[in-house]
Structure 1
Amino acid sequence: GPIPAEIGGLKSIDFLDLSGNRLTGPIPASIRNCSQLQMVNLSNNTLSDAIPDSLSLITRLQVLDLSLNRLAGPIPGNFGKLASMNKLVLNGNSLTGPIPTSLGQCSNLELLDLSTNQLTGSIPDDLCLIEGLDIALNLSRNALTGPIPAKISAFSKLSVLDLSYNMLDGSLTPLAGLENLVTLNVSNNNFTGYLPDTKLFRQLSASDLAGNQGLCTHGGDVCFVTLDANGRPIMMVEAESRRVHKLKLAIALLITATVAMVLGMIGVIRARRMGGKGGEDDDYEMGGEMSWPWQFTPFQKLSFSVDQVVRSLVDANVVGKGCSGVVYRVQMDNGEAIAVKKLWPTSASAGKLAAKEDCNSSRVRDSFSAEVRTLGSIRHKNIVRFLGCCWNKSTRLLMYDYMGNGSLGGLLHERTGFSLEWDLRYQIVLGAAQGLAYLHHDCVPPIVHRDIKANNILIGLDFEAYIADFGLAKLVEDGDLARSSNTLAGSYGYIAPGRYPNRNPPFGCCSERQ
């Protein structure tokens, strides 16, 4: 049903999160009376009509997420009055018209996502006035035209830029000055000319550049034209001065290399199966389809790319396994270490179906994106910092700060020759309790951990406690089990039989140390 107009009577409310429901109708204009609001999340509903101008009167607003609805009409031009705004997320609607130049007045904006709408016109120069934009700018899947503004170099701190699937043209030279970019996608536009000779462009994959006729590497040898029927980029040699036999030679070499690679892959797969390590189920379970395109959502300022993370997901880097997935220690090129959790698939059958049916796959990705966006907004000194997430059709990765001292369970039961003093134990227990209190009482919506134990309390360098794996129960459950157990407290590995509504309670993860 609709959001009642009486919501405007909640004049002292700080946070409003109605995401992931079946709300319909317009956003009530009376919401302007909630003048103390700092966060509004109405994402993943079926809200319609225009975005009300009255939202601009909530001057304390810091986070506005209206994504994945059916909102139409223009983006209100008076949003520039929201000087405190740091995250504006409007993707997945039917918004039309140009990008308002007034958004350039939102000087505190760190993340701007206007993707998957019907926006037209050019990228306004005034948008480049937001020099603090450092997390992400996503304008993909619209109908934007014109060149990239020369002033875009002002985004010197920006980590993620996605301009794909528009009708932008001109040169990519203005992007050469964005030295802190770790992810860039300009595919499926009308860009021309040579790629800037920078480290980022030398490392970009072909899929991030595909679909731009006339966009070539230096020397004019390789141009990124389009995608084939399987969604893979086609790279074509287009130097007119090349003779025909040169082209035939290149094709022959490509065929030879492809045949050799296929034969090598077959040999590796057969060797793994003979060693008892292969099989379709294992390949799926560990997310073997790593070549599919990645979606990337950062929640912090990052200095690494998805490719760096994916390359490090090897057995030698595994530091733990649990009910929710496998944890890797990933060492970046700059020496930074992070923890990457690869979630188990919700179920083998559901995963394979999602990989085959684009419609279902899109719904799964949207649901996963909405869930992790909620987790990404959590900030507390005793909760491990969530850096970001990335996913494709078969694999879901969560990235966190890496804790060199490991878990409380490891300190108590696994580290030999080490004794944890009682004052440190008290400090750790107190910190964990404060983190849990934040999840239960201060988060919107409240988060029940459901698997709190010594192995999920990580220890910092100064022996401070950090709660990990918060909110993962909903990400790894699916179907009827999730709907029937989402109000039950306790671990999703063990639920008391008297509390479980069906005959047989789930004991799928009881082998872990509790």
Structure 2
Amino acid sequence: MILVFLLVFLNPLPFASALNQEGLYLLQVKQSLSDQTSALSDWSHRDDTPCKWRGISCNSLTGGVESVDLSNFQLAGPFPLFLCRLPSLRSILLVNNNINSSLPVDISECRNLTTLDLSQNLLVGSLPPSLATIPSLRNLILFGNNFSGEIPASFGQFQRLEYLNLAGNLFDGTVPAVLGNISTLKELDLAYNPFAPTHIPSELGNLTNLEQLFLAGCNLVGQIPSSFGRLVHLQNLDLSLNRITGSVPSSISELKSIQQIELYNNSLSGELPLNMGNLTALKRFDASMNELTGTIPTGLCGLQLESLNLYINRLEGTLPESITRSKKLFELKLFNNKLSGPLPSQLGANSPLQSLDLSYNQFSGEIPVNLCAKGQLEDIILIYNSFSGKIPESLGRCTSLSRVRLKHNRFSGRIPDGFWGLPKVFLLELAENSFGGQISKTISSAHNLSILSLSDNRFSGSLPAEIGSLEALVEISASENGFTGQIPRSLVKLSQLVKLDLSENNIDGTIPEGVKGLVKLNELNLANNRLSGSIPTDIGSLPVLNYLDLSSNSFSGKVPIELQNLKLNVLNLSNNRLSGELPPLYANENYRNSFVGNPGLCGDLDGLCPKINLSKNENCTWILTSIFVLAGLVFVLGVVWFYMKYRSFEKKKKRATVTKWRSFHKIGFSEFEIADCLKEENVIGSGASGKVYKVVLSNGDAVAVKKISGGVKKGDSLSAADIERDEFETEVETLGKIRHKNIVRLWCCCNAGDGQLLVYEYMSNGSLGDLLHSSKGGLLDWPTRYKIALDAADGLSYLHHDCVPPIVHRDVKSNNILLDGEFGARVADFGVAKIVKRVGKAAESMSVIAGSYGYIAPEYAYTLRVNEKSDIYSFGVVILELVTGKPPTDPEFGEKDMVKWVCSTYNQKGADQVIDPRLDSTYKEQICRVLDIGILCTNALPINRPSMRKVVKLLQEASWENKFKAGKDGKLSPYYCYDEEASDQASVV
């Protein structure tokens, strides 16, 4: 009390006050906190009592303060220990503020507390063991902070504790067995903490009053204790996202009160206990993403069941008929198993089924007629099974449907008219079946339709003009059918359309006028039809088109010169009736295959037409002449080879023969000074194309020399040599004309006797990848990493937007970003770069050399298309490397890549589980903003990735306040991460 007197009266507030003692204590609390929103503005010395102040509750009889609730007030500062001076205080609620520092050891002075809720703050350090000495404490809620270390052993001494929530912190010890001593406990939540690998303590089975047990994401190993069978009052058990092994214990069937069991994403094996039918109160069971075998127990599908998730396991057998008894089932997800047989005929008849996903199994038979009997079915996903028969007429009346995926089955027959026009469907995927008939005009009612996938069926008739009224359409894929008639003119109204594929049909007529309205069109494929007329010049004005295939039709007239405006990765106009001159951009060898089969173009590009047959005598003469010429050439080459070898022997390999020296800057060294230093002791790196040497010049400066092998060794194919030569020429052509502070400088180049040499400026800190993923990665603090990201983005932006023509790097990765002595970043290694004007190069060569594993954009896997957007995806992976400190392929990711791991971990566990723990947490807000930019760059759909110029701007803005701020729950917006089930080719649905 003497201390309180000194604090309150020796440092008095600058005003006279009639406020009682508790009010004075609370004013001290106010003074100790930062209140930027003036949430405590009504706390005034002019009042007699604080009982009417915001957040304060008093006892109606005694007038003493019983509760302080300052939740969501945006207060900042240390925990206000003055609250413990309030003698009647029972409850402290400071939820969702910015309370920081550590929790004071003498918090136990709050002797009368029953509830302490400090969740969603910034508290750090260890938990005070003295918390367990508060005799009446019943609710201790500290989730969403940064507490670390061990959970104190003293916590086993709580006398009346009922709710203990420590989820979402940084505890890295083990789950203490002493928690099993808190016999009064009703809820225990330790989820999402980075504990050391821990077995689940069997002592937790002693908590016989427990109703909620949450241990998700706790790095748990070993088996589920059989002692859990004693938790007879348990209603919710969550052990998901761990590494638990073994089988599901049969004792789990003794949990008579259990309503929800979450076991997903572990390594459980064996069969599910047959006696799980005893769990009569069970509403939700999720054991997906394990290694479970056997069949689905009949008893598991009880009357109260609402959700059953067993996807990604090894289950076999049929779906039990008992599943139809449940009157509450709304979710059934069993995809990626080995289940077979027909579906129960009454599935959906008795329950409000909303989501059904049975994809990637071996189911057969027809779709049950009553699947949408309750009118609530939203998702039906049956892809990659062996279902057959027709789509039931009843589904044509299921207006609640929003996602329909029936791809790769054996369905046949006509689609019900009502099914075409379902008003909420945004994804209609019927590809790879045997459906027939026409598309009904009722499709005009499908106002929400975004993706229409009909490829590889037997549809016929004309495409209805009503499709053009569906303003939300992003994709139309209708290849390999029997469609006839003309392309509806109304299609040019679809301003959101990204992909139009009508190839392999019998469509005739011309391409409609006005295609320039398809401003988002990325792919246009009309190959193998009967189209005629001229190619519209409007196609050349489509801003993002990079795939154009009009081959095997009857187009005539000239190739529009406007096509030169496009940045195409695929161009195919072959096998038509085109004539006249080729546009200058395409009049070269790179585009030969794009125009073959057009006799009228023969005069413009040599070799497009077949050669005229020679007579027999002329043929023989030509052959003899060729033999003599070849023999002479071999003789001359032999003499030259012998002479070169002799000179090399005479010089005893002291000096490499260096020819064709080209410099791009003013230099002060000779080619021979470089050649003499190419020794093994000077090698500082190596790659697929050769070695890199550090050469210290006579003036003391250093340069880096990349040597690309130039010969064809025994056993090598000619294509390999061609690729190496092409890499050299590409890098010289690209770097020789670039002048930018964030592009590595090429001093000069030359051909040596045994290869080609590229001489660069020397970067003393090596590559970002080598430094970041080595023991020296700790040298890269966040400001340095941020600067590296911005520098590299500047360099790539220059390539994409300021070079004429633009340049696509095609191999952006951390090992190709070099660092100088001040950690300034330069983009390097342009051996596979593509000058955009040369987009017609055969896809086969692109597939051989473009990109590095872990950085390749998803669209490249199925289209071989590489453009600026592919660079942006690769750069997004580099950003994720800088944020996480992990390489793009890491055993921690399992079967996922870096992008999928970041998205799932960020969403499920928050940013703290993604960010490199070596980084200073004071930069967390900026790191989260940069992380969001990286995820935006790795968007599955290329059109949704920002341009590199936009990336630079976003990174610059990331250092500003209140920009791109992460949500308070630490989860990503759906704008950044997409449902992988939505499309087989990474389309957004």
Q: TM-score, normalised by structure 2?
A: 0.31
> What is the match of residue 84 of structure 1?
376
Q: Which of residues 415, 439, 442 is equivalent to 1:123?
A: 415
| Amino acid in the other structure paired with 2:450 | S
> What is the match of residue 502 of structure 2?
209
Distance in 2 between residues matched to 1:79 and 1:269, nearest whole Å: 60
Q: Which of residues 196, 214, 224 is equivalent to 2:527?
A: 224
Q: Which of residues 191, 195, 199 is equivalent to 2:483?
A: 191
> What is the match of residue 467 of structure 1?
971
How big is the shift at 1:253? 7.4
> Are residue 182 (structure 1) and residue 474 (structure 2) matched?
yes
Q: Which of residues 306, 311, 336 is equivalent to 1:44?
A: 336
> What is the match of residue 235 of structure 1?
551
Deviations 1:280-327 (CA, angstroms, capped at 9, x unpaired)? 474554316845547xxxxxxxxxxxx9x9864544995774557999
> What is the match of residue 102 of structure 1?
394
How big is the shift at 1:38? 2.1
> What is the match of residue 577 of structure 2?
247
> Are residue 164 (structure 1) and residue 164 (structure 2) matched?
no
Decide whether the 8 Å contact of 2:475 with 2:498 is kept in 1.
no
Decide whether the 8 Å contact of 2:383 with 2:406 is kept in 1.
yes
How big is the shift at 1:215? 4.4
How big is the shift at 1:124? 1.1
| Amino acid in the other structure paired with 2:452 | L
Distance in 1 between residues matched to 2:495 and 2:588, nearest whole Å: 23
Decide whether the 8 Å contact of 2:478 with 2:501 is kept in 1.
yes
Q: Which of residues 233, 256, 259 is equivalent to 2:589?
A: 259
Distance in 1 between residues matched to 2:321 and 2:355, nearest whole Å: 18
> What is the match of residue 352 of structure 1?
none
Decide whether the 8 Å contact of 1:207 with 1:232 is kept in 2.
no
Decide whether the 8 Å contact of 1:85 with 1:108 is kept in 2.
yes
Higher relative contact order (CA 8 A, sep 6+): 1
How big is the shift at 1:276? 1.7
Bigger Rg over Cα: 2
| Amino acid in the other structure paired with 1:459 | K
> What is the match of residue 829 of structure 2?
276
| Amino acid in the other structure paired with 1:224 | A
> What is the match of residue 14 of structure 1?
306
Decide whether the 8 Å contact of 1:56 with 1:82 is kept in 2.
yes
| Amino acid in the other structure paired with 1:208 | D
> What is the match of residue 365 of structure 2?
73
Superposition map of 1:438-453 within 5 A: none
How big is the shift at 1:179? 1.6
Q: Which of residues 346, 349, 359 is equivalent to 1:57?
A: 349
Decide whether the 8 Å contact of 1:13 with 1:36 is kept in 2.
yes
Decide whether the 8 Å contact of 1:153 with 1:175 is kept in 2.
yes
Distance in 2 between residues matched to 1:211 and 1:131, nearest whole Å: 29
| Amino acid in the other structure paired with 1:62 | Q
How big is the shift at 1:2? 1.3
Superposition map of 1:496-511 within 5 A: none
How big is the shift at 1:111? 0.5
SS in 2 for 1:54: coil
SS in 1 for 2:970: strand
| Closer/same/farther in 2, CA of residues 215 and 269 from structure 1, 3 Å limit | farther
| Closer/same/farther in 2, CA of residues 48 and 324 from structure 1, 3 Å limit | farther
> Are residue 397 (structure 1) and residue 690 (structure 2) matched?
no
Decide whether the 8 Å contact of 1:215 with 1:223 is kept in 2.
no
| Closer/same/farther in 2, CA of residues 144 and 246 from structure 1, 3 Å limit | closer
Distance in 2 between residues matched to 1:254 and 1:235, nearest whole Å: 20
Distance in 2 between residues matched to 1:113 and 1:312, nearest whole Å: 28
| Amino acid in the other structure paired with 1:218 | I
How big is the shift at 1:345? 6.3
> What is the match of residue 445 of structure 2?
154
Distance in 2 between residues matched to 1:326 and 1:199, nearest whole Å: 43
* Mean Cα deviation higher: 13-22 or 88-97: 13-22
Distance in 2 between residues matched to 1:232 and 1:213, nearest whole Å: 19
Distance in 1 between residues matched to 2:477 and 2:445, nearest whole Å: 18
Distance in 1 between residues matched to 2:329 and 2:882, nearest whole Å: 36
SS in 2 for 1:127: helix
Decide whether the 8 Å contact of 1:49 with 1:72 is kept in 2.
yes
Decide whether the 8 Å contact of 1:159 with 1:181 is kept in 2.
yes
| Amino acid in the other structure paired with 2:442 | K
Q: TM-score, normalised by structure 1?
A: 0.56
Q: Which of residues 138, 143, 146 is equivalent to 2:434?
A: 143
How big is the shift at 1:47? 0.7
| Closer/same/farther in 2, CA of residues 4 and 396 from structure 1, 3 Å limit | farther
Decide whether the 8 Å contact of 1:194 with 1:216 is kept in 2.
yes
> What is the match of residue 781 of structure 2?
none
How big is the shift at 1:218? 2.9
| Closer/same/farther in 2, CA of residues 70 and 62 from structure 1, 3 Å limit | same
How big is the shift at 1:114? 1.0
Decide whether the 8 Å contact of 1:138 with 1:162 is kept in 2.
yes
How big is the shift at 1:251? 10
SS in 2 for 1:102: helix
SS in 2 for 1:467: coil
Distance in 1 between residues matched to 2:508 and 2:875, nearest whole Å: 40
How big is the shift at 1:192? 1.5
| Closer/same/farther in 2, CA of residues 98 and 214 from structure 1, 3 Å limit | same
SS in 2 for 1:151: helix
> Are residue 287 (structure 1) and residue 856 (structure 2) matched?
yes
Decide whether the 8 Å contact of 1:213 with 1:223 is kept in 2.
no
| Closer/same/farther in 2, CA of residues 142 and 223 from structure 1, 3 Å limit | same
> What is the match of residue 132 of structure 1?
424
How big is the shift at 1:236? 2.2
Distance in 2 between residues matched to 1:326 and 1:187, nearest whole Å: 42
| Amino acid in the other structure paired with 1:237 | N
| Amino acid in the other structure paired with 1:184 | I
SS in 1 for 2:346: helix
| Amino acid in the other structure paired with 1:286 | Y
Distance in 1 between residues matched to 2:909 and 2:442, nearest whole Å: 36
Distance in 2 between residues matched to 1:293 and 1:93, nearest whole Å: 22
Superposition map of 1:289-328 within 5 A: 290=859, 293=862, 312-315=869-872, 321-322=878-879
| Amino acid in the other structure paired with 1:153 | S
SS in 2 for 1:81: coil
| Closer/same/farther in 2, CA of residues 180 and 468 from structure 1, 3 Å limit | closer
Deviations 1:69-107 (CA, angstroms, capped at 9, x unpaired)? 111111111223041111111111111111111012222
| Amino acid in the other structure paired with 1:238 | S
| Amino acid in the other structure paired with 2:457 | N
Cα RMSD for the two superposed structures? 5.3
Deviations 1:243-279 (CA, angstroms, capped at 9, x unpaired)? xx9936379779954624589x986566458652445
| Amino acid in the other structure paired with 1:235 | S
> Are residue 29 (structure 1) and residue 332 (structure 2) matched?
no
SS in 2 for 1:466: coil
Deviations 1:480-500 (CA, angstroms, capped at 9, x unpaired)? xxxxxxxxxxxxxxxxxxxxx
State the identity as a percent: 25
How big is the shift at 1:194? 1.9
